[in-house]
């Protein structure tokens, strides 16, 4: 792994050309490492998970919401490194559809039964629920969260969700929670060096 070279006339740094890159795993519970290494499908709720839960209404009632650029990169990294990401929302959210399309990621909107949706995805990908990670923040996410191999909630999830998941991220929804899970999955599956190499680091 390359590190920044010493600049002529610039700051000199200790020789850290062999820097061990940061890993999210030391902060991730040890008893969950095996589950994370096993994941092939990562499903994300949208409002409150990929967004901060704010629904912007204009005077005509058109709805906007804010996605987070770091989360988007995390989802693309999952895809590139062999973990299938999916957005699943109960709302009839055109913006979620567009966000998914921009990222090139499967997106399901107006989903009435998220658990059934996850089960169908498992059948389609030929995997078991134990190979699925699901991230959600409120009651409509409880059913899938209670049945997947890795159930994750953002830091600001509702208490009824927080007490039923395997792990809560340090970041809040729409502020890096999804990226935190992506990084954990990539790390647990030994992909950190490959990820960094893809960016010339």
DSSP helix/strand/coil, 26: helix
Minimum Å distance from CB 94 to a copy of itself? 4
Closest of 197, 183, 191, 194 to residue 73, by C-alpha: 183
Burial of 101 (0-12, 13-18, 19+ CB in 10 A): exposed
DSSP helix/strand/coil, 62: coil
Q: What is the DSSP string of 147-190?
A: TSSEEEE-TT--HHHHTTSSEE-SSPTTTTHHHHHHHHHHHHTT
CB nearer a copy of itself, residue 84 or residue 107: 107
CB nearer a copy of itself, residue 86 or residue 156: 156
Minimum Å distance from CB 124 to a copy of itself? 20
Minimum Å distance from CB 186 to a copy of itself? 11
CB atoms under 10 Å from CB of 6, counted, come to 12
CB nearer a copy of itself, residue 86 or residue 90: 90
Minimum Å distance from CB 68 to a copy of itself? 5
CB nearer a copy of itself, residue 124 or residue 163: 163
Angle, vertex CA 77, rays to CA 20 and CA 82, nearest 5: 100
Minimum Å distance from CB 120 to a copy of itself? 17
Minimum Å distance from CB 201 to a copy of itself? 4
């Amino acid at each position: 792994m390359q590190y920044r070279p010493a600049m002529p006339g610039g700051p000199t740094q200790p020789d850290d050309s062999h820097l061990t890159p940061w890993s999210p795993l030391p902060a991730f519970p040890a008893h969950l490492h095996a589950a994370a290494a096993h994941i092939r499908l990562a499903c994300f709720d949208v409002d409150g998970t990929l967004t901060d839960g704010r629904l912007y209404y204009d005077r005509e009632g058109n709805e906007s919401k804010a996605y987070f650029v770091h989360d988007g990169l995390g989802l693309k990294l999952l895809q590139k490194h062999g973990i299938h990401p999916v957005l699943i929302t109960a709302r009839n959210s055109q913006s979620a559809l567009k966000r998914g399309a921009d990222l090139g990621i499967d997106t399901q909107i107006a989903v009435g039964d998220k658990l059934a949706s996850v089960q169908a995805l498992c059948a389609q990908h030929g995997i078991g629920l134990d190979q699925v990670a699901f991230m959600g923040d409120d009651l409509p996410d409880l059913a899938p969260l209670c049945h997947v191999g890795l159930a994750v909630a953002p830091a600001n999830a509702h208490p009824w969700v927080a007490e039923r998941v395997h792990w809560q991220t340090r970041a809040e929804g729409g502020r890096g929670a999804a990226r935190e899970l992506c990084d954990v999955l990539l790390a647990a599956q030994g992909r950190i060096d490959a990820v960094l190499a893809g960016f010339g680091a």
